[in-house]
Amino acid sequence: MFKPVFKGNMLTIGVSESPLAIVTLWSDKNLVAASLKPEHYGVIGQLYSSTRGLDPIVRNLLANTHIRYLIVYGNDLSGSGAVLRDFFKKGFEKGRDSVGNECWRVRSDKDGFIDIEVTEQALQLLRDNVTLIGAKSLDELLEYAKRLSAKKGTPYSQPMFFEKKPREAATIKGEDSAFRVSGKKVAEVWVKLLDIIMKFGRVSPTHYDSRMKEVVDLISVVTDEDPEGMCVPDFLPCNEKMLEEYFPTVLSSQPLAEIKYTYGQRLRAHFGVDQVEAMIKKLSEEKGIRSAVAVLWDPRIDNKKGGMPGLSPCLNYIGVKISGDKLILTALIRSNDMFSGWPENAFVLRKLQELIRGGVEKRGNYGLKLGDLVIISQSAHIYEDCWEEARRIVDEQRGSFISSEVTSPDPRGNFVIEISNGRISAEHISQDDNTIRTYTGTSAEDVYMKIAAEQLVSSIGHAIYLGKELEKAEIALNYPSLFRYVQDKHLQRL
């Protein structure tokens, strides 16, 4: 019987010494397994990512050398199947992974990595002794499985095991919940939330035989992503082609073969009602309504005990609210792979937000702008095999995105600071350039304590800036013969 050494909880194990392993890529392995007899296969698993998933497949096959046939079948949404085929057809070479670690790279147009601890000899043995077969249909797969399972799986070697080096898991103690990040673009927010999770995420085990760093109830806000001209830089885990293929699975009820359900089916067909259409109708008839919501969780199915991980929707709730002349969309994702999954979900939710906005504007016959996209990730996590890559991206992009937090305008307003009548004065100016209130004191502490008590600062960058300016003003106030204070300039010596 097949004995996994990695990711065993993610595999469906047969009941015989079958020489056959099946990889279903993005197609639901449980739907495939339900069509087969357990004695017709040794193991069935999926392969979502060639950069993260190829190494566990190789290690499991080398530990089970009675497996002599590998069938590849299913939806290849990320190109992982192409990389697996290239490993057997074109081979591999020594190189470096995306974070610079030495590894074996598949000779392929897409990245595929295998840990360097697995020996070259073992990889060559695997390629020489396991036959890869591509199945174009489920019927073809069933025919292969029935025929191949009758063969004896004679091992080509003793089982081979290779040490896997643990990854660093240092973390900083922070809030128990409700971190918040915001930015203009999806890419900017993604870099910031990676930074938060890698710094403050708690390390915990997963049901996938690995560890993760997790932040509970992470709130991410995207303010200015253009749904018709999205910013998709190369460092994101998705590209424009992948997004174009993903959008219909959420925006329409179109089914995918061997995919148990899509978000689009849950939104637009599963409950016998098109919930997107219902939200548009409600908002076009009553602008201030608070019940324009959609749910994807079906308690009749999703609350059952013993359900397999990944079969219940991660996106559970969508709510839409009009505030002023802007349409704001809030989504709740109960379990969110922030490295691999968050960006494409954010992009498609922005598309959905625009679809709803356009529908409401047309039917309601009033102007409506696209407002914030708010995503609440209840379990915001990064899996262990992505930690190094996440750190690399944060380090490379920190100057472009995270540092901009210091100079970004505060939506709660800004302050004009000066010295007047022997006191420090901080005039609070709103976004529409109106004076709200003026705060005065004889020291920086006097003024910033009043501002802090009224919660007038929303960002760390603005708070640091105010502290710096108020301290300069206090120095000039205490030494009027030596210094003159002008906001945003160095203290001027007299």
Per-residue pLDDT 10s for the chain (494 aa) are: 899 998 888 899 998 788 999 999 988 888 888 889 888 899 999 998 888 889 999 999 999 999 999 999 998 888 899 999 999 999 999 998 876 788 999 999 999 999 999 999 999 999 999 999 999 999 999 999 988 888 877 899 999 999 887 766 678 888 999 999 999 999 999 999 999 999 999 999 887 778 899 999 999 999 999 999 999 999 999 999 999 989 999 999 887 766 667 899 999 999 999 999 999 999 999 999 999 999 999 999 898 765 445 578 999 999 999 999 999 999 999 999 999 999 999 999 999 999 999 999 999 888 999 999 999 999 999 999 899 899 999 999 987 776 556 667 899 999 999 999 999 999 999 988 999 999 999 999 999 999 999 999 998 889 999 999 999 999 999 999 999 999 999 999 99
Residue 220 confidence (pLDDT): 98
Separation of alpha carbons 345 and 78, rounded Å: 15
Q: Which of 158, 142, 139 is nearest to 41 (CA)?
A: 142
Whole-number Cα distances in Å, 371 to 37, 268, 350, 458: 52, 23, 10, 18
The answer to whether the CB of 315 falls within 8 A of the CB of 359 is no
Separation of alpha carbons 402 and 192, rounded Å: 6
Q: Which of 137, 129, 55 is nearest to 97 (CA)?
A: 55
Residue 44 confidence (pLDDT): 94
Residue 69 β-bridge partners: 20, 131
3-state secondary structure of 110: coil
